[in-house]
Structures are given as structure tokens and as C-alpha cells.
Amino acid sequence: MVESEDRPSLRRRLLSSLLVPLMLLLVIESLITYSGALIYSNHVHDRDLADDAMTLAQMLSQEDLGGQISPQARFLLEYAPEGHNYFNVSSKKHGLLAGSQDLQSAALSAATLDGEPALFTTALKRRQLRAATVRIPNLRDPSDQLTVTMAETFHDRHQRAREILLLSIPAQALLIAGVFFLVLYGVRVGLRQLDPLTARLAAREHDLAPIGDADVPVEILPLTRTIDGLFARQRRMLALQERFIADAAHQLKTPLAGLRVHVERAQVDPSKDTVSDALQHIQRLTQRASRTSSQLLALTRAQSPELSEDGSECLLDLAQLVPELLGMRVHEAIAAGVDLGYEGEPGPIWIDGDRLSLQEMLDNLIDNSLRYAGRNSLVTVGVSVVSGCPCLSVEDNGPGVPPAFLDRLGERFFRVPGMTEEGTGLGLAIVQRIAERHHAQVRYLAGSSGGLRVEIMFPTARTSKSLLSD
């Protein structure tokens, strides 16, 4: 149970990825609500402030001021239930009649001559105020003008906005909670669409057939197609294993049967000559079995799907690599009585490839020439550029291959009829598979001196252009 809780859960991941945005949405919605409530509160308070200033100005314009306002008007200003703690009443003739002198200059600059209240924001003793001022003529004295200014702090406005916000938050939270539970239900129902696919895969045992797209939701198609690719690679690997087992059983059957015959012959006739002859045959058969198994393993490696799966593909210079590999085989050529030489263009000649695979390819080509060209023959390994493509060639002046059989060279276990030299028929098949992995083409031609010429045409290296530009 603990293990299942610790496992990554798609449902939990989906819900958590939705919950955080929903909470952020609640915060953003609260800020928007508060901003809207504050705008509304400012609008209402501005309207009330302007109405109060206009009402007081009209009332004062009908009084005989005589340099001061009446006690009733002062009472309304100082003890207004709306909390208008800041005011200013001034006359054009008599100057300041009541209130704060600091508001007079701001009020005179903001007031208009049309008798309509003007709203403005000002500061008094480091406190922000919202004020409304109105200028109207004195009805008792037409030559005089009254300016009435009423101001208030922003505290009540923010208080009203907070009250509206607190009233709206529960409704918003309830709405988001409802959305969250609807999403939870939708996720559960949506994930049930995977049940048929899960049941179909659970019913399989050793079936590596593609899953297909029949009942697969669009969102997980990339996953199922990736699994199909994995199944395809597994099928290829299993096919290689089955082919290797079948080839090994077929190719090792003859030498193993020969070993048993010669062992039984030595047991029946333990004479020195018989035992010596049997041991010689046994040694030759074990060498053949060893070479066959090595060639089968090499062929299996060459048939692996991709060249660069292990990251061994790199930029190689054929003009430098081939002479190095060729030098390792000189002593064998001397022992076989073969003149092994090299002809090449000045490098570099770049290809994308795997050094070990190319070494195995060249070794098989040289082995083929040393085995079938015969003593006192000439084998030439060449590197050149043909039609802009790197070319590796191996040519001998041996008996060659009849033209009718050139197209079959490279087939597994194919040996040219009439050849007396022992072989597995796998050397050129390995060459063919390694060339295919390098996206190269192999051509089997008649040599200029009557022997066999094998040419491998490589594609131009993908990274050589960037290397040269650097």
C-alpha cells in the first residue's frame, strides 16, 4: 500500500496542476473584485461629497454672512454624520469664513465658474484627501462669490471596498470548489478510457504485435507509438537471436559430427598413426568450429538495428584509418605468400562511422582475398573519392568469381561452386551488413587482373562540412 502511494500518479498530477491555477485564479479574481468595488465606492462617495458641497453652498448663499457663517452651518460642517472632517468656506469679499486655510488655495484653483462641483485629490498634513469644491454667487450680495470645499479621507472608501470583497469571496470560493470537483469527476471518467487498452495489454503473454490506434485516446498516442517502436526493436532482436541459433545449429552440426567420428575412430583403433591422424582432423574441425562461431557472432553484431545506438559513431578519416588497420595484417599476408599493398589519395577523406565495425569489415575483405587469391598473388587495398563519395576498395589478382555468381556474393552461407578452400560463407555477408549500417553500397566487380574487386561507396560525412567551416 505504501509503495502505491509513493508511485507517481497521473490523477494527482492532473489535480495538483489544476488546483494551483484555480487558487491563483481566486486571488486574481479577489484583486479584480476589490478594484471594482473600490472604483464603485469612489464613485458613490464622490457623488455624495459633491452633493453635500452643493447643498451647503446653496444654503450659505441665502444667508447674510457678514464675515462668518451661521452656527447651524458650522454644526453641519463640523459634525456631519458622513465624516467630512475637512472643510473650507471662503468669500471673495471677506476671505476665509470657516475651516482650514490649507484647503483654500487648492480649492480656488480647482473651482469652476459654472457653479458645478469640482472634484480633486489633495494632501493635508501628509494625509490624502478627496475634495469637492463649488463656487456660486452670494444671493444676498451679487458682488460677492462663495467657495465651499468639503473633503474626506479615503478610509471609508477602502472600508466599503473591503466589505464588498468579503461578501464576494465565499461565493467565488464556492464556485471554484465546484469547478474543482467537476474537474475531479471529469479526470476520473476520462481515465477510464484507458481501461480497454489496459485489459487488452494484460491479456497478452508473449505477443509483441503493435498496439495499434483503435481504442487509444489521442493524448496517449505518442506513448503507445513509442511502445510499438520498442516492440518492433524487440521483435528484430528476437529474430536475430532465433536466426543466430538456427545458423549456429546448422553450421556447427558438421564439425561436431566430424569430431565425434574421429574420436570414435581413435577409440576403436588406438594405434599411434590412427590417433595422430584423428587429432589432426580434430584440430582442423575445432578451428573451423571456432571460426564459424566467431563469424556468426560478428554477423549478429553487424545485423543490429542501428549503428549509433551505443554512441560509437564518429567522424573518421579513411585515408588515415585504412593504412593503420592494414599494417596489422602485413605479417599474415607474408605468411600466406601474398603481396598486400595500399593505394590511396591524399587525405583527409571523411566518413561517419564506427571504427571497430570498419576494422571488422576490412579484416573480412582481407581474409577473403588471402584465402581465395592463393599464394604469390597481389592484394591491393585502396581509398579514393568517386563522384564525390568516399570509396574503399579491395582487389586481388586471384582466380576471381564467375560473372553469374557476382550478384550472390554477400548472401549468408553462399560459397562459389568449385572452391576448394574451406570457408563459412559469412565473411562477405558481414561486410554487406556493416556497409548497410553505414548507409554504404557494396559492389562486386571483376578485377583488372582477372581477380575480384570489392568496392564500398560511403555517403559523404554529415559533420565534415561543419568541421571544415570551423
Judge if 394 and 465 occupy the same domain: yes
- Across the chain, mean pLDDT equals 78
Grid cell at residue 154: 479615503
How many CB atoms sit inside 10 A of residue 243's CB? Answer: 15
Q: Which amino acid is at 228?
A: D
Contact between residue 284 and residue 277 where contact means Cβ atoms under 8 Å apart: no
Give the per-residue pLDDT at 1: 38
Q: What is the pLDDT of residues 166-225, one digit of tens each?
A: 888 888 888 888 887 887 787 777 777 777 777 777 777 777 777 777 667 777 778 788
Contact between residue 394 and residue 365 where contact means Cβ atoms under 8 Å apart: yes
Give the per-residue pLDDT at 65: 63
Give the per-residue pLDDT at 3: 45
Cα torsion angle, 263, 267, 272, 273, sign? negative
Grid cell at residue 377: 598473388
Give the per-residue pLDDT at 402: 85
Distance CA 85, CA 207 (A): 87
Answer with the one of 128, 145, 161 that is the final residue of a domain.
Answer: 161
- Let me know if residue 463 belongs to a domain: yes
- Let me know if residue 197 belongs to a domain: no
Grid cell at residue 98: 470657516
Judge if 44 and 119 occupy the same domain: yes
- Please give the residue that has the higher pLDDT: either 455 or 184: 455
Grid cell at residue 174: 464556492
CATH number of the domain where residue 58 is located: 3.30.450
Q: Which of 381, 375, 377, 416 is nearest to 397 (CA)?
A: 377
Cα torsion angle, 32, 33, 38, 43, sign? positive
CATH number of the domain where residue 293 is located: 1.10.287.130
- Let me know if residue 254 belongs to a domain: yes
Residues 6+ apart with CB under 8 A from 237: 305
Distance CA 261, CA 181 (A): 81
Q: How confident is the model at residue 250 (pLDDT cuts 50, 70, 90)?
A: low
- Let me know if residue 194 belongs to a domain: no
Distance CA 431, CA 299 (A): 9
Q: How confident is the model at residue 301 (pLDDT cuts 50, 70, 90)?
A: low
DSSP 115: S
DSSP 75: H
- Let me know if residue 309 belongs to a domain: no
Q: Which of 132, 157, 151, 110 is nearest to 54 (CA)?
A: 132
Mean pLDDT of 314-343: 88
Judge if 377 and 407 occupy the same domain: yes
Judge if 244 and 339 occupy the same domain: no
Mean pLDDT of 357-381: 86
Ranges 74-83, 125-134, 191-200, most confident: 125-134
Contact between residue 132 and residue 53 where contact means Cβ atoms under 8 Å apart: yes
Judge if 345 and 406 occupy the same domain: yes
Answer with the one of 257, 278, 302 that is the final residue of a domain.
Answer: 302
- Please give the residue that has the higher pLDDT: either 16 or 331: 331
Rounded percentage of the chain residues whose pLDDT exceeds 90 = 6
Contact between residue 362 and residue 392 where contact means Cβ atoms under 8 Å apart: yes
Q: What is the pLDDT of residues 219-245, one digit of tens each?
A: 777 878 888 888 887 777 777 666 666
Judge if 290 and 358 occupy the same domain: no
Q: Has residue 153 got a pLDDT over 80?
A: yes
Judge if 400 and 453 occupy the same domain: yes
- Let me know if residue 182 belongs to a domain: no
Q: How confident is the model at residue 273 (pLDDT cuts 50, 70, 90)?
A: confident
Judge if 245 and 330 occupy the same domain: no
Judge if 32 and 133 occupy the same domain: yes
Q: How many domains does the chain have?
A: 3
* pTM score of the predicted model: 0.45
Q: Has residue 256 got a pLDDT over 50?
A: yes
Give the per-residue pLDDT at 22: 80
Mean pLDDT of 390-418: 81
Domain of 243, in residue numbers: 218-302
Give the per-residue pLDDT at 72: 66
Q: Has residue 257 got a pLDDT over 80?
A: no
Q: How confident is the model at residue 352 (pLDDT cuts 50, 70, 90)?
A: confident
221-268 helix and 272-302 helix, angle to the nearest 10 degrees = 170
Judge if 343 and 251 occupy the same domain: no
Q: Has residue 67 got a pLDDT over 70?
A: no
- Let me know if residue 407 belongs to a domain: yes
Answer with the one of 302, 326, 351 that is the final residue of a domain.
Answer: 302
Give the per-residue pLDDT at 302: 60
CATH number of the domain where residue 459 is located: 3.30.565.10
Judge if 242 and 295 occupy the same domain: yes
Judge if 345 and 291 occupy the same domain: no
Distance CA 30, CA 296 (A): 74
- Let me know if residue 110 belongs to a domain: yes
